[in-house]
Amino acid sequence: MLVLFCFSSMVYGQINPVNVAKGKKRISIHSENNQVIDATTKPPTQYLNGDVKVFHAGTFMYCDTAVLRGAQLKMYFNVVLMQNDTIKIFADSLHYDGDSLVAYLYGDIILENGPTKKLYTSYLIYDVEKKIGYYTKNAKLEDGPSTLISKRGRYMLNEKTAYFYENVKVDGDGFNLISDSLSYNTISQETRFMAPVRIHKDTSQIYSERGWFDLDDKKGDFIGNAQYLEGNTIAKADTITYDGGLDLVTLKSDTIRSEYYSEKDTAFAKTIFYDKKNDVFRLTTDAYYKGEKNEVTGEKIYFDKKTEKFNVTGRSVVSDAPMLIEADTLDYDKSIKFGIANGHVIWRDTAAKTAIYADHVIYKGEENYMKATNDVGRPMFTTDIEGDTLYLKADTLKSFRVIKERIIYPDKNAARRAKKNEASQINNGNPLDSTATYNVFTPLDSMVVDSMKLDTLMPKIQTDTIYTGIMDTIDYFIGDNNVRMFKSDMQSVCDSLVFNKSDSLFTLHKNPFVWSDSSQIAGDTIDIFMREKKVDRLVVRSNATIISTEDLRFFNQIKGRFLEAFFRESKIYRMDVDGNAQIVYYLTDKDKAYVGVNTTESSNMSFFLSDNKMTDIKCYKEPKSKVIPMSKANHEALKVKGFIWNMGMRPLDKSSL
């Protein structure tokens, strides 16, 4: 026994020349309950039993039973391998090569790296020097609430990174991940995909060909043919960035537009950012969004679904039926119906068939307030009338809403028309033949009606102002300063214009002129009444004049304090003139040669037309008429008071506005 012990001590103290060459120390046995040495082998074999503790290359290894022969160590039962204070490997058995510093572990293996990280497998190759574990027969890594499973892999403990291959599955807090190859950082809990991956979270799925995902923070990038699916929601992009903690999804694409579809939303753009928690979309580059009630295109789109607020930059179009807005930049808050549009703005009301073209438009929908201005040129308003387009320009275009009491005023015009209708029943006028000579006007003096008799024939006209107590909402449209309007059969200019949408009434203020066919109408104020999108009546409130000419030498003229013209199929078929009515009319023969001038004065006159030619004239209350031969007529003196031939201001087409 003494010989064995001495021999054992000699063997135990030997220095392996290979290990010396590698700079490695021999395997040291620190403790055991008993030891048996077989000196018949070369090198001798040591059998260690009970609480075996071995040390080599900075690593402690423990077991119940061990066999050591040179650099080869085999350990059995309750095997533990420890490095530093953080790495522990538990196994049923171990085969350790002291030359290569590689341990082969078998059985129920647990590799611990800190208090929360545990790798479970049945076979593990562990590089003691590099601190890398390899497995080929399935393994499971547990890290807090996350579990990673694969068929093959390696665990690089120095780099805090594990690589998983073949049938990889990751189960986390509320999600699971499937792939064929990925890496996992045990410190940051970040996984990187080296093969296509699919993540399931509740009812949602994410797919990509590569990328990364943080298991702890629930966020990552999914790159390459990335797709997101949740119920009826589908998203596609080159890259999908997902933040589960904040519930944010970002879709990015370089060569195509990213796509997002749901039951209520459709979005296209190179980049789509969606904040699901706050219901906010941000779309960048070639953007398009369509919701339940809105449709928007632009270079960049911001849309808050809760407040229904839009901010759009780049050439953009917002549809908020029946309103359609197009501009270079646009802010629109649908909840309060407030919008600011800048740059080549087109503001359409598809229901009313109206549009505004301007550089800048401000809109307050609750007040129905709108203001349109231009940096260069002037804003334009268009509307559809009788299948034709009316164009209107002014320095500033505005609209606003007024709520006021409904008041019924005496209808003075109705009284005038009633008197004239009664007079027409008593007196028969003579029609004017366009080819007739001047003597057709001689019967006009006979059209005198007893005003007392006429009053007895008239029905009672309401003369009281009635305050109803009913509040009406009235919308107004205004063209302010240098207003010019063009329609194929009617044109006008004035200083300012007001359109009452409730009454379908255009009112032209300050030096208004209206042209219809060859006639020019002027006065202090002109009203144009619409009915069913057609011109119905035209009223001149004061200093009314109508002038027409065939040759720019002689002018037919009508003047009075008040004028009312009635339209049928866009043409005047009747005109009533009240208060100091005057007419200057050049008479022609059948060859359209001038033969004289008829001048007539009366309190009231009515004119009847067909195809823009006068067929009847009726005068009321002591008309005075005379005919002057052309050779004796002072044509300049025949011009009515306030005569202005303003044809040079007449818009000839929409480009002249």
- Model confidence over 560-571: pLDDT tens digits? 999 999 988 778
CA–CA gap between residue 214 and residue 220 (Å, rounded): 6
Q: Is the pLDDT of residue 619 over 90?
A: no
Q: What is the pLDDT of residues 409-424, one digit of tens each?
A: 676 555 555 555 554 4
Q: Is the pLDDT of residue 20 over 50?
A: no
Q: Report the Cα 23 to chain-centroid distance in Å.
A: 71
CA–CA gap between residue 447 and residue 598 (Å, rounded): 16
CA–CA gap between residue 420 and residue 403 (Å, rounded): 36
User: Residues 373-377: what's their mean pLDDT?
Assistant: 92
Whole-prediction pTM: 0.63
Lowest mean pLDDT, pick from 199-203, 339-343, 629-633: 199-203
pLDDT at 146: 87
Domain residues of the chain, as ranges?
A: 2-137, 430-656
Tell me which CATH code domain 430-656 carries.
2.60.450.10
Encoded tokens for 622 = 């002591």
User: Residues 552-566: what's their mean pLDDT?
Assistant: 90
Q: What is the pLDDT of residues 243-271, one digit of tens each?
A: 888 888 899 999 889 999 988 889 999 99
pLDDT at 356: 92
Partners of 65 in the β-ladder: 49, 76
Q: Which of 607, 609, 611, 582 is nearest to 597 (CA)?
A: 582
Give residue 298's pLDDT band: very low, low, confident or very high (50, 70, 90). confident
Q: Is the pLDDT of residue 650 over 70?
A: yes
Fold (topology level) of 2-137: lipopolysaccharide transport protein A fold (2.60.450)
pLDDT at 181: 94
Q: What is the pLDDT of residues 99-154, one digit of tens each?
A: 999 999 999 999 998 888 899 999 999 999 999 999 998 999 998 888 999 999 99
CA–CA gap between residue 159 and residue 142 (Å, rounded): 17
3-state secondary structure of 133: strand
Contacts of 390 (CB under 8 A, 6+ apart): 382, 383, 384, 485, 486, 487
Any idea how long the chain is?
657
pLDDT at 509: 92
State the average pLDDT for the chain: 83
| DSSP assignment letter at 657 | -
3-state secondary structure of 327: strand
CA–CA gap between residue 645 and residue 651 (Å, rounded): 14
CA–CA gap between residue 180 and residue 182 (Å, rounded): 7
Task: Confirm if 272 and 288 have CB atoms less than 8 A apart.
Answer: no
3-state secondary structure of 447: coil
CA–CA gap between residue 612 and residue 593 (Å, rounded): 19
Greater model confidence, 116 or 33: 33
Q: Is the pLDDT of residue 467 over 60?
A: yes
Encoded tokens for 483 = 């207003």
Query: How far is the CA of 469 from the CAs of 330, 407, 408, 466, 501, in angstroms?
Result: 41, 8, 11, 9, 21
| DSSP assignment letter at 136 | S
Give residue 471's pLDDT band: very low, low, confident or very high (50, 70, 90). low
3-state secondary structure of 63: strand
Q: What is the pLDDT of residues 75-114, one digit of tens each?
A: 999 999 999 888 999 999 999 999 999 999 999 999 998 8
b vs e for 523-533, b when ≥16 Cβ sit within 10 Å of the residue's Cβ? bebbbbbbeee
b vs e for 590-617, b when ≥16 Cβ sit within 10 Å of the residue's Cβ? eeeebbbbbbbbbbbbbbbbeeeebebb
3-state secondary structure of 630: helix
Cβ contacts of 466-469, under 8 Å, gap ≥ 24: 466/407, 466/408, 467/405, 467/407, 468/405, 468/406, 468/407, 468/408, 469/405, 469/406
Q: Is the pLDDT of residue 472 over 70?
A: no
User: Residues 309-317: what's their mean pLDDT?
Assistant: 82
Of the chain, the percentage scoring pLDDT greater than 70 comes to 87
Q: Is the pLDDT of residue 397 over 90?
A: yes
Q: Is the pLDDT of residue 449 over 60?
A: no
Comparing 2-137 with 430-656, is the CATH topology the same? yes
pLDDT at 442: 28
pLDDT at 473: 64
CA–CA gap between residue 543 and residue 268 (Å, rounded): 60
